[in-house]
């Protein structure tokens, strides 16, 4: 079975990390955290000609693939900026005979927009056969940030959390990894973690703070200033693929904090995790505190 997987990252790099790219459309990115303005490869706002060219290129790639499954990441729960190319793609798939299976792949907690839910449900009912949610309903149900989720019935299925196999434990000491993904956003999280280090149960471990390849120079320098005398040998600030800084591969063994963007769903995820951690403390008598990253 052949799958045509549509992925468009506008700010982070996690989307591309999950797949192997076969067809590269003209690059697009978001101008800022509002995601309202699309920029082209020259960081200029896109125009109607650019949109027509890209939509046509996407349709050509789809038709050439002759895939039995069309898998689209996030839309219609997000990526509304890409409607100009996704709606023609979905209409084309809907007209085919035999009709391909059309699937949406979406994270468990999305940016809640109640005013858009009716339109989203309409698009799902018109075009999609399955909604695959990246998560576990025992931790965070999709309805937490999309109240109309029960209307999807059996179309909605949870995939669980898909991760690579854990590496075998090594003999040396524990390490803490704090990651901001690609690094376009996330400075506040990294600052919070670095400032909170001495108050945690893992303050004696080496902390590797991964600012990401897209971290702005000013943000990187601000993080450098938080490396205090006396703990430099235990606190490594690592930016991948930057010539002026040592490059390191962190071993994710004790704690991994990963943020792609400062969406409001981060607060919802934190509340869920805090509740589960509180339950575990009651069951096991452990002493673990969760700091508010806001």
The strand pairing partners of 179, in sequence order, are 210, 258
Cα 242 to chain centroid distance, Å, stands at 23
Long-range Cβ pairs for the range 27-36 (8 Å, 24+) = 28/54, 28/82, 30/81, 33/185, 33/261, 33/262, 35/10, 35/11, 35/81, 36/81
Q: Which residues contact 3 (CB under 8 A, 6 or more apart)?
A: 67, 68, 69, 70, 71
What backbone phi and psi angles, to 5 degrees, belong to 42?
-100, 15
Q: Which residue has the tokens 């703070």?
A: 209
Q: How far is CA 183 from CA 3, 76, 90, 188, 203, in A?
A: 30, 26, 32, 11, 24
Residue 90: predicted pLDDT:
97
Residue among 186, 185, 199, 201 nearest 255 (CA): 201
Helix 83-95 and helix 48-65: axis angle, to 10°? Answer: 30
State the Cα–Cα distance between residues 208 and 221, nearest whole angstrom: 16
Name the helix (H) or strand (E) containing 210.
strand 206-210
User: pLDDT by residue for the chain (294 residues), tens digit each?
Assistant: 899 998 877 555 555 555 555 667 777 766 566 667 777 777 888 889 989 999 999 999 999 999 999 999 999 998 888 899 999 999 999 999 999 999 999 999 998 899 999 999 999 999 999 999 999 999 999 999 999 999 999 999 999 987 777 767 666 567 788 887 777 777 888 888 888 888 888 888 778 888 777 777 888 888 888 875 434 333 444 433 332 222 222 333 222 333 333 334 555 555 665 666 566 556 544 433 333 333
Residue 188: predicted pLDDT:
86
Q: Which residues contact 126 (CB under 8 A, 6 or more apart)?
A: 94
State the Cα–Cα distance between residues 114 and 196, nearest whole angstrom: 35
Residue 257: predicted pLDDT:
30
State the Cα–Cα distance between residues 123 and 77, nearest whole angstrom: 10
Q: Which residues contact 86 (CB under 8 A, 6 or more apart)?
A: 6, 72, 75, 79
Residue 213: predicted pLDDT:
73
Residue 201: predicted pLDDT:
86
Residue among 269, 260, 294 nearest 11 (CA): 260
State the Cα–Cα distance between residues 30 and 15, nearest whole angstrom: 14
Residue 2: predicted pLDDT:
92
Residue among 181, 293, 182, 178 nearest 237 (CA): 178
Per-residue tokens: 234: 């235990």
């Amino acid at each position: 079975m052949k799958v045509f997987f549509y992925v468009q990252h506008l700010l982070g790099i996690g989307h591309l990390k999950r797949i192997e790219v076969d067809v590269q459309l003209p690059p697009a990115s978001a101008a800022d955290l509002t995601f309202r303005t699309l920029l082209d490869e020259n960081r200029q706002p896109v125009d109607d000609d650019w949109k027509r060219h890209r939509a046509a290129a996407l349709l050509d790639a789809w038709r050439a693939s002759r895939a039995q499954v069309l898998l689209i990441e996030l839309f219609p729960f997000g990526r509304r900026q890409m409607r100009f190319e996704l709606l023609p793609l979905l209409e084309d798939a809907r007209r085919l005979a035999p009709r391909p299976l059309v699937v949406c792949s979406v994270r468990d907690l999305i940016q809640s927009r109640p005013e858009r839910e009716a339109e989203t449900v309409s698009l799902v009912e018109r075009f999609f056969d399955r909604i695959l949610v990246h998560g576990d309903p025992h931790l965070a149900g999709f309805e937490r940030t999309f109240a109309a989720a029960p209307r999807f019935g059996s179309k909605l299925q949870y995939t669980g959390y898909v991760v690579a196999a854990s590496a075998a434990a090594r003999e040396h000491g524990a390490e803490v990894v704090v990651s901001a993904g690609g690094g376009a956003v996330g400075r506040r999280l990294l600052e919070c973690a670095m400032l909170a280090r001495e108050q945690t149960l893992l303050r004696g471990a080496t902390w590797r703070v991964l600012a990401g390849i897209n971290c702005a120079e000013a943000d990187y320098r601000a993080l450098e200033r938080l490396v205090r005398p006396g703990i430099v040998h235990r606190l490594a600030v690592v930016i991948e693929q930057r010539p002026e800084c040592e490059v390191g591969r962190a071993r994710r063994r004790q704690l991994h904090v990963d943020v792609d963007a400062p969406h409001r769903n981060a607060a919802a995820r934190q509340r869920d995790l805090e509740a589960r951690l509180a339950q575990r403390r009651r069951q096991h008598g452990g002493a673990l505190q969760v700091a508010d990253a806001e």
